[in-house]
Amino acid sequence: MTRNVHGTAIVVGERGLIFIGPSGVGKSMMAFTCLAIARRAKAFSALISDDQVFLTQQQERIVATCPPSISGLMELRGSGIVRMDHVGSAPLDLAIQLVPVSEAERLPPENESWQIGDIGSLPLVKMANNVADPLAVIGGLLPAWRQETPFW
């Protein structure tokens, strides 16, 4: 079974991330920021898919795939469409739910998960959409990732 979700999926180092949230919250720009930070840290980084992401379960993992028509393309709202280094698909490790800073809970619940229909779930962290270094925030929230460049 395949789920078509609205989000932006990327790979940073060996980790697959998907940014989710309402339209216009900044998913693409936050993912772009992560890719740029990783690139400057000389870590592998690539776009999987922007705006539309196909999710499937393969061998106990959630795998993100890009529709061919948008492969390698990312829309940076207000700036335009950019061509990015990309991979066709990759397993995901974490969902990041972006929240407008005015609506962000001071201390969101811990150990949340994002249920993806009947194909499985991913660990979920919530993040205000104005964070300057999202990879550092992820490293702060997930201590096991701190040894991995560029998550800290």
Q: Give per-residue pLDDT as tens, 79-120.
A: 889 999 999 999 999 999 999 988 888 888 889 999 999 999
Q: What is the pTM of this model?
A: 0.95
Specify whether the CB–CB gap between 84 and 73 falls below 8 A: yes
2-145: which CATH architecture? 3-Layer(aba) Sandwich (3.40)
Hunting for tokens 């280094």 — which residue is that?
Answer: 85
Q: Give per-residue pLDDT as tens, 47-85.
A: 999 999 999 999 999 999 999 999 999 999 888 899 999
Tell how strand 15-20 and strand 94-99 pair up.
parallel
Specify whether the CB–CB gap between 19 and 30 falls below 8 A: yes
3-state SS record for 72-121: CEEEECCCEEEECCECCEEECCEEEEEECHHHCCCCCCCCEEEEECCCEE
pLDDT category at 123 given cuts 50, 70, 90 is very high
Average pLDDT, the chain: 95
Number of CB atoms found within 10 A of residue 45's CB: 22
Say what angle helices 134-141 and 27-40 make with each other, to 10 degrees: 90
